[in-house]
Amino acid sequence: MLKGIHPLLGPELLHAIRTMGHGDHIVIADANFPSSFLGPKVIRADGVDAVGITEAILAHMPLDTFVPEAAWRMEVVGDPTAVPEVCATFQDLVNRLAGDFTVHSVERFAFYEMAKKAAYIVATTEFRLYGNIILKKGVVHPHEVYRVS
């Protein structure tokens, strides 16, 4: 354990978000997502749901403020205006922890294409359908960095 680090961030995931640069994407994927076959390095988060991992990541990683969109979810196949409960929860987390960002919906196969370009995919055991989100890392400002006194 470390002080000030969300307990769901294991060493591999902590390393991943630390090494990501401004503009890099991270995918938080549900249990049905084809994580292993899209290309990016997969970090397993077995026994943890997508909401918990998203909260842990957003507790330490800012979203990109230099672009119009910095968070995306997979839209419901056959009902693109639907917002599943898990996706509404993602939106609430983003608003609470990252600020005034909209989690935009993206068609399923376009979402897969975005995921192929991500720095990492976090494979969770989120069983709710459409429990997938992509986050674009922003800039950590100097006043947000820990300084040794």
Residues with catalytic roles: 22, 64, 112
Instruction: List phi, psi (to 5°) of 97.
Output: -105, -25
Q: How far apart, in whole angstroms, are the C-alpha atoms of residue 59 and residue 112?
A: 25
Cβ contact 108:3 at 8 Å: no
